[in-house]
Amino acid sequence: MTDPTAPTTPFRFNLDIEGYVCAAEAELPNQAISLTEFLPLVWKLQDALLGIWTQLNESEGNTVSCRAGCGACCRQLVPISEIEALHIKEVIQALPETDRERVLGRFAQAQDRLAEAGILEALGNLTDMSLDQKRQIGFDYFAVKVPCPFLEAESCSIHSVRPSACREYLVSSPPAHCASLNGDSIAMLRHSAKFSSILFSFFDGEGNAKPKIVPLITASIPTDGNPQLSQHYYAPTLFQNFLNRLAVLFSQVT
């Protein structure tokens, strides 16, 4: 557990976003932290970058249509990293008992419906699927119409700690297109902040591991646990490692 009274250290870095060089500074714990404790730092950087990309898109006439209370995308298959799957377990565990039982009940109900539809087992192989297979299982999943267990009155009940995949799913098309999963008519926001793709490989603390993808809907299921997930790393080193992977991601943006 991070000691909130432990000293922090400023970490300065530059980000080049389509020729705009942004000088940034992060205040990092001056101590070793776990990978789940690292997630809030990752999300803070991702949200800041997505804010910049939102402005860039708006200057091109593409206004984000995502709004609080619109859960149109929350019946889609959400791919998360093993780190975030562990974090989801921690989030559920920390809920008051009645809330925990309600959320776990929704997970179980959703998993039963996916099993009845014959796709729960296949979801366990998401990592090794081809792009076409991932697209197909995404449609199959959506056809079952299972809401995310954290969706309350069409709003995310874990908004501040929602996974990267949820943060980076931003559209400029009408919500109805997300609700019908009409792939051709969904206009995704153009951005380079697909942090989920880094996190899939970041369970080694460097981002060099073979990616592992977990469907959010199975995150409640107990697993043997990846021993690498219990390691602790010096926070500034972890952050530098993440920035190194981000530099690769930025260079891949066209």
CB of 87 to ligand SF4, least distance (A): 11
151 counts as binding ligand SF4 under rule CB under 6 A: yes
Instruction: Kindly tell me which residue out of 87, 106, 162, 245 binds ligand SF4, with binding defined by CB under 6 A.
Output: 162
158 counts as binding ligand SF4 under rule CB under 6 A: yes
CB of 113 to ligand SF4, least distance (A): 16
- Whether residue 217 contacts residue 114, with contact meaning beta carbons closer than 8 Å, is answered with yes
d(CA 210, CA 174): 36
- Whether residue 168 contacts residue 195, with contact meaning beta carbons closer than 8 Å, is answered with yes
* String of contacts with ligand SF4 for each residue 78-97, x by CB under 6 A: x-------------------
Nearest to 224 by CA among 54, 86, 132: 86
**Candidates 42-50, 150-158, 175-183, 243-251; binding stretch for ligand SF4 (CB under 6 A):** 150-158
166 counts as binding ligand SF4 under rule CB under 6 A: yes
Instruction: Kindly tell me which residue out of 35, 74, 170, 246 binds ligand SF4, with binding defined by CB under 6 A.
Output: 74
148 counts as binding ligand SF4 under rule CB under 6 A: yes
Please give the full DSSP string across 112-150, using - where no structure is assigned.
HHHHHTT-HHHHTTGGG--HHHHHHHHHHHHHH-PPPTT
- Whether residue 213 contacts residue 118, with contact meaning beta carbons closer than 8 Å, is answered with no
**Would you say 144 or 151 has its CB closer to ligand SF4?**
151
108-128 burial, b for 16+ CB within 10 Å, e for fewer? eebbeebeeeebbebbeebee
Helices 35-59 and 82-94, packing angle to 10 deg:
110
Helices 235-251 and 35-59, packing angle to 10 deg:
40
Q: Which of residues 43-62 bind ligand SF4 (CB under 6 A)?
A: none
d(CA 189, CA 172): 6
**Would you say 150 or 200 has its CB closer to ligand SF4?**
150
**Candidates 39-47, 71-79, 200-208, 237-245; binding stretch for ligand SF4 (CB under 6 A):** 71-79
**Would you say 44 or 210 has its CB closer to ligand SF4?**
44
H-run or E-run covering 23: strand 20-29
**Would you say 29 or 163 has its CB closer to ligand SF4?**
163
156 counts as binding ligand SF4 under rule CB under 6 A: yes
150 counts as binding ligand SF4 under rule CB under 6 A: yes
Q: Catalog residues that contact ligand SF4 under the rule CB under 6 A.
A: 71, 74, 78, 148, 150-151, 156, 158, 162, 166
